[in-house]
Structure 1
Amino acid sequence: MSNSNLLIIGFVWPEPNSSAAGSRMLQLIEQFQKQGFDITFASAAKPSQNTFDLSGIGVKTRAIVLNDSSFDIFITELNPEVVVFDRFMTEEQYGWRVAEYCPNALRILDTEDFHGLRKARELALKDGVEVTVEHLQNDTTKREIASIYRCDLSLMISEAEIEILTKQFKIDRDLLYYLPFLLQPISEDEIKELPTFEDRQHFITIGNFLHPPNYDAVLHLKQTIWPLIRRELPKAELHIYGAYESQKVSQLHNEKQDFLIKGFAEDVNEVMQKAKICLAPLRFGAGLKGKLVDAMQNGTPCVMSSIAAEGMFGEMEANGFIENDAKAFATKAITLYNDSKIWHNKQENGFTVNNERFNKTSFESEFSQRITDLKANLKSHRQNNFIGNLLQHQTLQSTKYLSKWIEAKNKTKYY
């Protein structure tokens, strides 16, 4: 008997070495494979040199086109039992086609993070104020929440985001599912193999430069925080790693200031293990931060902003210090760099958080059961989501006919 088909429609092709989103996607693929699905990953994006080889883990791939009825033929022939949309933008493009041609398929939105929250924080930062309800009710939020309602289940990576969606926007908790990073526990033997406090030197920060919060954090380090640290630690260097380094990033490189743009890290574990401290002064953003996971897994304590730390530690102790004020941030970074006892304590916190809070085996059976239950009770589940039915009826009709108009326009030759 053949397995059921599951289709993932990717906003981009997964790049686990470039972004946390890429790692997250591979974690989801592993979970769905364990549930017995045959997986096809389709995307309209162009692959890059950093694209993961999905065929190597038994996942079929398919290039698809935006605003083109070829997708309708493809999905009808595949006839998936489950369709996963990678971020709300993909659901906007393909959701109506899935609903029309595979109406009985379970529709899952993998939010990656709450994009509307990130946008709200960016707007508030530009305004120089705290985030308000007005900031939260931005156009991105409206589009994303509409997508959440149109889907049967939305995977949320952060408990903090679930709280905002349920309390601020009154979204039914039954439409949201908490599924954070799903990590492999770190063994005692692996911990013993890590470089010691004495073997490490310098500071590190890492993050995809295409992601605006990461670039803003590097600028914040350059202009405000790093000069304060370097004044007390003149021999220390800051190594900045990230994929997709642009000219505006390259121009920040300054050897006299030991502010060193290193570009793409071929092996994030290697560069993280060499560093003594990871800095993450994010001033806006959402979701869970892959850089903090990399740091915890490699025994590198962090100094981070509250936005960087959000959703990561729950009631547990952080693997470092959480500070938003630049001077306090720099002071804690200097303390952590110099004090072996504090450093080891924070490192141990990181191992505990990784192993107890994000151990993938803690989530597998419950997630599998949730998918099974939804498939078995899809009709009643959808009947309880009236706003979703309303949006399927109204919003997607406009999306549908706009897409059809674009397709017709693309086929027209103008001479």
Structure 2
Amino acid sequence: MKNDLKELTEQHVLIIGYVWVEPNSSAAGSRMMQLIEQFLKHNFKITFASPAQKSEKATSLSSLGIDEVSIELNNASFDGFIKELQPTIVMFDRFMMEEQFGWRVAENCPNAIRILDTEDLHFLRKTRHQQLKKGEEFTTEALLKSDDAKREIAAILRCDMSLIISTYEMDLLKSVFKVDEKILYYLPFLLDKIDDHQQEKWKSFDERANFVFVGNFFHKPNVDAVLTLKTEIWSEIRELLPKAEVHIYGAYANQQINQLHNKKEGFIIKGFAEDAKEVVRNARIVLAPLRFGAGIKGKLTEAMICGTPSVTTEIGAEGMCDRFPWNGFVENDFSDFALISAELYRNKNLWKSYQLTGAEIINEIYDKEKLGVLFINQIKEIQENLEQHRTQNFLGNLLQHQTLQATKYMSKWIEAKNSIQ
């Protein structure tokens, strides 16, 4: 495919959001804004619809010229809405939205391209969590037995294009689940390149202090990571660095997180950060001892953007840096994790060398100018060959047919039940 952008006319994308967009609260919110920015850049008209309640942290999409619409689950009002809207593209934010609305889109707007933004593979994260709680080693056999995997992969198969955020997840879908790569599209975070001028503005080793963790606490891997940091790692770091502190930031901290606050031990719960990048720019090291999860970790790309080395686990770094060395250390043993964190914290030369590798990863893997053009071109290519593209996706057609029957009547039953209550 050529890199030059193909001509697009009269494109209207309907995004069906699982939640309203909160780019300052989570990596998922940042990811959605990155996609929205690409559509706006290429002159798409955008309508964003969601059945969720808006929180005070939700960004104002209307200020960007985007129509915001509240929709309802299991309600025929959506049929009239999309018939009138007639978008050329419908993008589902996570597979749950495809399950709820995909059949209605297919029935009422059959010529619209259906795109699934997976965010990350939810079944991968959930299965890892279940195995961790059972004390079991992660295996792909457990994934093959997962009902969540069946649901999410069915949604992928029903769509014309699914956005897969990490190389690990692309390989998993192709090798373990035998999903045809024609309906998969690798699209990591879309980030600005870090030029020399930006690197010169990074704060130096001596201008920085403390460790930091940033994460949304609605997200279970983040809760587990902070608990792990407190119980398995921090006391060893403090023995080596008695004056060091770790500052924990994140939206929606619950009592389980807040009660970990202990100023005497240097374990400080800070709460929501209005500007997470500013927090990370002033820290010396990002710690992310993730024991389960999936996708790309926003806290770790954020560290790279801010010139802040990080220490994480194999799951933390998974699918994120391709052939490039990590901008810090990747370690699963938590005693070693503490030792290398302390060493990186006090070794200026080591710290500076890892600071630079983060910029290389961002510039080579996450360049939004290059990735954005390829993404929009891929949409155009599918639009130009939509009938053939769908004919070749036989399993998708089969599932679409069956789902249209089963989900449609289940939804209509719920709708009828709700109307008489």
TM-score (norm 1): 0.98
CA distance in 1, matches of 2:111, 2:73: 23
Which among 380, 383, 396 is matched to residue 375 of structure 1?
Answer: 383
Name the counterpart of 1:348. 356
Alignment of 1:228-267 (within 5 A): 228-267=236-275
**Which of 87, 101, 108 is 1:101 aligned to?**
108
Match of 1:338 among 346, 359, 369: 346
Superposed CA offset, 1:356-379 (max 9, x none):
211111212221211111011111
Matched residue type, 1:90? M
| Equivalent position SS for 1:84 | strand
Identity of aligned residues (%): 55
Structure 1 residue 55: Cα displacement: 1.4
- C-alpha separation between the residues in 2 aligned to 1:263 and 1:127? 30
Which among 3, 7, 11 is matched to residue 18 of structure 2?
11
The within-5 A match list for 1:322-333 is 322-333=330-341
Match of 1:204 among 207, 212, 220: 212
1:8-42, CA deviations, whole angstroms, 9 ceiling, x for partnerless residues? 00000111100011111011111122333100000
Alpha-carbon distance in 1 for matches of 2:410, 2:269 = 43
Provide structure 1 residue ranges, at least 5 long, that are not aligned to the other structure: none
Residue 146 of structure 1 corresponds to which residue in structure 2? 154
Alpha-carbon offset, residue 4 of structure 1: 2.4
Instruction: Name the structure 1 match of 2:4.
Output: none
Are 1:7 and 1:41, in contact at CA under 8 Å, matched by a contact in 2? Answer: yes
What CA distance in whole angstroms lies between the structure 2 residues aligned with 1:148 and 1:2?
27
| 1:400 alignment partner AA | K
Match of 2:80 in 1: 73
CA distance in structure 1 between the aligned counterparts of 2:239 and 2:406, rounded to whole angstroms? 58
User: 2:280 is matched with which residue?
Assistant: 272
Unmatched 5+ stretches in structure 2: 1-7
Give 1:188 shift.
1.8
AA partner of residue 238 (structure 1): V
Deviation (angstroms), 1:133: 3.0
- Partner of 1:261: helix, strand, or coil? strand
Contact 1:123/1:135 (<8 A) preserved:
no
Q: Alpha-carbon deviation of 1:400?
A: 1.1
AA matched with 1:197:
F
Letter in 2 for 1:91: E
- Which of 256, 277, 292 lines up with 1:284 in the alignment? 292
Query: For 1:276 and 1:2, how far apart are their aligned partners in 2?
Result: 47
Question: Over aligned residue pairs, what C-alpha RMSD do you find?
Answer: 1.2
Match of 1:114 in 2: 121
Once the two structures are superposed, residues 245-304 of structure 1 have per-residue CA deviations (whole angstroms, 9 ceiling, x without a partner) of 111111111112111111100111211111100001100000000001111111110000
Contact 1:16 1:23 in 2 (8 A): yes
The two structures have a TM-score, normalised by structure 2, of: 0.96
* Contact map agreement 1:43 1:62 (CA 8 A) in 2: yes
Does residue 1:395 correspond to 2:403, yes or no? yes
SS at match of 1:278: strand
**1:26 and 2:61 equivalent?**
no
Q: Equivalents in 1 of 2:137, 2:369: separation in Å?
A: 38
Q: 1:181 aligns with which of 186, 189, 192?
A: 189
Q: Hey, what's the Cα distance between the residues in 1 that align with 2:179 and 2:208? A: 47
Cross-structure match for 1:411: 419
Structure 1 partner of 2:97: 90
The answer to whether 1:306 aligns with 2:323 is no
Question: Is contact 1:166-1:173 (8 Å) kept?
Answer: yes
Distance 1:214 1:142 in 2: 25
Q: What is the one-letter code of the residue matched to 1:122?
A: H
SS at match of 1:256: helix
Verify the 8 A CA contact 2:103 2:403 in the aligned structure 1: no
Q: CA-to-partner distance for each residue in 1:87-122, whole Å, 9 max, x for gaps?
A: 000000000000000011100000000111111211
Secondary structure of 1:394's aligned partner: helix
Q: Distance in 1 between matches of 2:390 and 2:42?
A: 23
Aligned residue in 2 for 1:64:
71
Aligned-partner Cα distance in 2 for 1:339–1:2: 55
Letter in 1 for 2:67: K
Residues 277 and 302, structure 1, Cα contact 8 Å, conserved in 2: yes
Distance in structure 2 (CA, Å) of the matches to 1:269 and 1:34: 24
For 1:330 and 1:193, the matched residues in 2 are separated by 29
Task: Give the number of aligned pairs.
Answer: 413
Q: Which shows bigger deviation, 155-164 or 361-370?
A: 361-370
Mapped to 1, the partners of 2:327 and 2:57 lie a distance apart of 29
**Other-structure match for 1:366:** 374
Question: CA–CA distance in 1 between the matches of 2:214 and 2:43?
Answer: 35
Show CA shifts across 1:309-346 (max 9, x none).
01111001111000000011111101100100000000
